[in-house]
Amino acid sequence: MTPSSAEIQNFIASFEERLAPAEKASSEAWWRLATTGTEEAKDELVWAGMAYNQLFADREEYELVKGWYEGRHALESSILRRQVEILYETFAGRQGDEETLRRVEELEAEANAIYGNHRGLVGGKEASENELRQILRASDDSTLRREAWEASKSVGRKVEGVVRELARLRNELARAEGYENHYVRSLVLQEIDVADLARIMDDLEIATNAPFRSFKQELDAGLRERFEVEAVMPWHYSDPFFQSCKHDALALPRSASRRDSGGALGADDSSLMPGSNSEANAAVGLDVDRYFGDKDLEALTRKTYDNLGLEVRDVLAKSDLYERAGKDQHAFCLRVGRSYPYDVRVLANIRPDSYWMDTMLHEFGHAVYDKHIDPNLPYLLRTVAHTSSTEAIALMMGSLANDPAWISAVTQVPEGELQRDRERLLWSSRADKLVFTRWASVMYRFEKAFYENPDREDLTGLWWDLAEEIQLVDRPPEREEPDWAAKIHIAIAPVYYHNYVLGHLTAAQLRNYLEKHVVGGPFFMSELAGRYLLEAIFGSGARDDWQTTVERATGERLHPDYFVESLG
Ligand SMILES: [Zn+2]
């Protein structure tokens, strides 16, 4: 039966009246908890979350929406069709037996609490995640590094059972709705074709095989020298999962290192940076932090977006940007409600270093997208096209913090100093993308197999097989710990990692298009580029799906070639 447009429109109009306040209340509660950390705020968030989920609990309404969704191709209005798709996906993600849904929520909270409260032991003393990371960034003592690395994984054993149970229950919910498993259901509801994604991930793996192998050989040679060891083990990398190489000592081509008058490690630079750990900076080889040590990151963020003609002063005014007791230690961008003028805020904990410069540009990338969505769109479409689309803008903007051309244009670092670092800056940002891509492949392949059978006994074996094959990281002899469960995403942000990968690919394709076809030079100095982003991406909100959005903005469907090119 063809659904009547008027019937659908009426339903959406009345549903919006319930949805809008619930959504706003839940964002407000989220912000309050993140900025205060009080028990009251925690309760308020739980309450708001329950009220929000309750909106989708009526099975009859769901069946109605599902029927419209299945008949959506007969709808004449593409705007209405798109609203039906989004409405259906929002409903569908929250369906299931009440008892199972409640159990999943409880287990997620339990897992969250375990990750939050667990402390690994180093030298018999509890160590925070930051302390463990600091050891892996700075220490030359292999024994201590091994202890810190093992401590960073010790949460796995504690949380493993909960993570497996969560996967079983998520699969139950997915199968009750006719899907093969939770992995497949999640992708479908995110409008990602399972086979498409598999092809992209395979292409990326093949394209990065050779450059990664050669980078890895160089890195390992440097690490063997630094630690005076025969074999490089997982604890010799600065990141516990080897998902980034920003802090790996000697992770730089020797030819570039020799250029540095301060010696191969550039240890002299560290003294220039106030408030930093000089040992850690000595190990970095390239101290990008020193560019920002005396800078006002808020002002640099404003200037960067001014250059694009995108106003962020209103967002800055509503944001909470500096460290404070009780405050969330991470960073995010949040839009509260969907009424115009939009209320967009960023939470950060700025310190004058490269990490926070990247993070500020990243979060304000999300913010300019959010605040430029056409307010005339219907409520359900007044949002970003896709997680990967907003990640793409954020990643493209954040990466400027390591881009010598941007540093030179915006920060007034002396040209001579920058000239000396130029090659290494470019090299290290490429290396980092390469390392991240291989790691994302491990996550992708592991999670896919995990949801095919969360009860398989050889998960630890599978995890290490993938690390050995894809990241070229050796499994420590006789290691039988559930190291996969130490990665928090597997427990509480499942089937999400591919959005980072798609975001990177989109960012590379978009930047290439902007610089070759729109601006004819660096996009970040051009108001034309800002206007293009606004018109080709931000303005249309969720009017089109992500594939169509990429194609409209870049003239091509998403493919990995530009990203792969940027690694070479
Ligand atoms: Zn982001």
Read out DSSP for 464-526?
HHHIIIII--PPPTT--S-GGGGSHHHHHSTT-THHHHHHHHHHHHHHHHIIIIIISS-GGG-
Mean pLDDT of 1-15: 88
Using the mean position of ligand 1's atoms as its centre, give its distance from the Cα of residue 253 in Å: 30
pLDDT digits (tens, 9 = 90+) for 200-223: 999 999 999 999 999 999 999 999
| CA triple 152-158-160, angle to 5 deg | 100
* Of 56, 166, 65, 87, nearest in space to 383 by CA: 87
The mean pLDDT value of the chain amounts to 90
Q: Are 510 and 562 in contact (CB under 8 A)?
A: no
User: How far does residue 437's CA lie from ligand 1's centre (Å)?
Assistant: 16
393 C-alpha to ligand 1 centroid (Å)? 9
User: What would the two tokens of residue 474 be?
Assistant: 């050796």
Q: Say how many Å lie between the CA of residue 12 and the centre of ligand 1.
A: 30
Q: Which of 410, 398, 484 is nearest to 442 (CA)?
A: 484
pLDDT value at 453 more than 90: yes
Distance 388 CA to ligand 1 centre (A): 9
Q: Rounded to an integer, what distance in angstroms lies between the CA atom of residue 399 and that of residue 418? A: 17
Q: Is the dihedral of CA 537, 542, 547, 551 positive or negative?
A: negative
- Model confidence, pTM: 0.90
Tokens 């293009």 correspond to 532
Residue 427 is predicted with a pLDDT of: 85
* pLDDT band of 534, cuts 50, 70, 90: very high
CA of 129 to the centre of ligand 1 (A): 21
Say how far apart CA 174 and CA 166 lie, in whole Å.
12
CA of 365 to the centre of ligand 1 (A): 8
Question: In 10 A of CB 450, how many CB atoms?
Answer: 22
CA of 362 to the centre of ligand 1 (A): 6
Q: pLDDT at position 4, please?
A: 87
Q: Which of 167-181, 418-432, 465-479 has the lowest mean pLDDT?
A: 418-432
Residue 125, helix vs strand vs coil:
strand
CB distance 154 to 121 below 8 Å: yes
CA 502 to chain centre: 10
Q: With CA atoms as reference, report the closest residue to 508 among 412, 452, 434.
A: 434
Residue 454's pLDDT is: 97
pLDDT tens, residue by residue, 437-451: 999 999 999 999 999
Mean pLDDT of 29-55: 90
Q: What is the DSSP letter of 266?
A: -
From the CA of 366, how far away is ligand 1's center (Å)? 7
- How far, in Å, is the centroid of ligand 1 from the Cα of 497? 12
What percent of the chain is modeled with pLDDT above 70?
93
What's 559's DSSP letter?
-
Name the pLDDT band for 3 (thresholds 50, 70, 90). Answer: low
Cis before 341? omega within 30: yes
pLDDT at res. 113: 85
Between 5-14, 321-330, 491-500, the lowest mean confidence (pLDDT) is in 321-330
Confidence of residue 253 (pLDDT cuts 50, 70, 90): very low
Ligand 1 centroid to 65 CA: how many Å? 31
Tell me how far apart the alpha carbons of residues 560 and 568 are, in angstroms, rounded to a whole number. 13
Give me ligand 1 centre to Cα 11, in Å: 33
- Cα(394) to centroid(ligand 1), Å: 6
Name every residue whose Cβ is closer than 8 Å to that of residue 70 and which is 6 or more positions away in sequence.
none
* For residue 286, pLDDT beyond 80: no
Mean pLDDT of 227-253: 84
Give the per-residue pLDDT at 130: 79
pLDDT cut 90: percent of the chain above it? 77
pLDDT above 70 (res 123): yes
Would you place residue 281 in the very low, low, confident or very high pLDDT band (cuts 50, 70, 90)? very low
pLDDT at 563 over 50: yes
Q: Band of the pLDDT at 128, cuts 50, 70, 90?
A: confident
Q: What number is the average pLDDT over the span 284-290?
A: 69
Give the CB-side neighbour count of residue 454, counting CA atoms within 13 A: 21
| Ligand 1 centroid to residue 132 C-alpha, Å | 24
**Dist. CA 370 → ligand 1 center (Å):** 12
Which pLDDT score is estimated for 255? 41
The CA 264 to ligand 1 mean position distance, Å, reads: 34
Q: What is the pLDDT of residue 460?
A: 97
Quick count: other Cβ atoms within 10 Å of Cβ 224? Answer: 15
Q: Using one digit for the tens of pLDDT, what is the confidence trace for 348-384?
A: 999 998 889 999 999 999 999 999 999 999 999 999 9
Cα-to-centroid distance, 482 and ligand 1 (Å): 28
Q: Would you state the pLDDT for residue 285?
A: 54
Residue 554 is predicted with a pLDDT of 98
Report pLDDT for 116.
80
126, burial (CB in 10 Å: exposed 0-12, middle 13-18, buried 19+): exposed
pLDDT at 2: 60
Q: What is the mean pLDDT of residues 408-427?
A: 87
Q: Is residue 282's pLDDT more than 60?
A: no
Which residue reads 């034309």 in tokens? 528
Distance CA 336, CA 371 (A): 11
Among 3, 5, 18, smallest CA distance to 379 is for 18
